[in-house]
Amino acid sequence: MTGRTAKIDAYNFSILDIADGRTVVGRQQSTTNTIDYNFPGQGLYAIKLDFVTSDGRPGSCESQNLPVGQADFTIDYDIFYRSVSDASWTKVDDTTPVLFDGDTLTIQELPTIVQVRITDVQPVSSTANTALFFNGAAILASNDNIFELRVNKRDKNIIKIVVDDAVRSARAEQDIAVVVDQAPVV
C-alpha cells in the first residue's frame, strides 16, 4: 500500500477516569478529530480514540493523563510575622499567637508585618511568574520569592499568591484571608 494515504471518517472517543481504574465515564462519536466534552468533575482523565481507516484497518491512540478542575501548579510557602518594633521574624505555627489554618491567617495586633516565603512551585517551569497581591495591590518580592506586607486595618484583608505561565496557559491561585482578632483594651 505504498503511496496511498488512508482516510479516517469516524472517530469514537472514550473518556477514561484514571483514578477510578480507567472506567469509561463518557463516549462521543465525531466525524472530525476533535472533541468538545464537559468532564463530570475534578479528577484525572484520559481520552482514548478508536477509529477505522477508509481501507478497513482499525486503530487507536490515547492522550496523556489530563488533570481537570485542579490547579496547574502546587504552591508551597511559609508565613512569618513580626510587630513593627521587632527586628526578627517568627515562623507561624501551632505555638505562636499568630495562627494559620491553611485558609485564614489570624493576627493579634495592629500593625503586624507579614512575610510570605514561597518555598516551592511544582511543576517547575522556567516561564512561570510568581506574584503576590495584598488587597488587590501587587507586592514586590524583596528577595527570591520573599514578599513582605503590612496589615494596618481590621478590614477584610486578602493575600493572593498567583503563579502564572502564559506560555503553557497554566495558572494557580491561593487566597489567604487575614483576620484581626485583637483583644479589646480594658
| CATH domain 74-180 topology | Immunoglobulin-like (2.60.40)
Q: What backbone torsions phi and psi does residue 76 show, to the nearest 5 degrees?
A: -110, 140
This prediction has a pTM of 0.64
Strands 170-180 and 141-143: unpaired
Low-confidence ranges of the chain (pLDDT < 70): 1-3, 70-71, 183-186
Who's near 123: CB < 8 A, 6+ residues apart?
Answer: 73
Q: DSSP letters of the chain?
A: -TT----EEEEEEEEEEGGGTSEEEEEEEESSS------SSSEEEEEEEEEEETTS-EEEEEPPPEEESS-SSEEEEEEEEEETT--S-EE--TTSSSEE-SSEEEESSSSEEEEEEEEEEES--TT-EEEEEETTEEE-EEETTEEEEEE--SS-EEEEEEEEETTTTEEEEEEEEEEE-PPPP-
pLDDT at site 124: 84
pLDDT at site 165: 84
pLDDT at site 131: 95
pLDDT at site 98: 95
Contact (CB, 8 A) for 69 and 41: yes
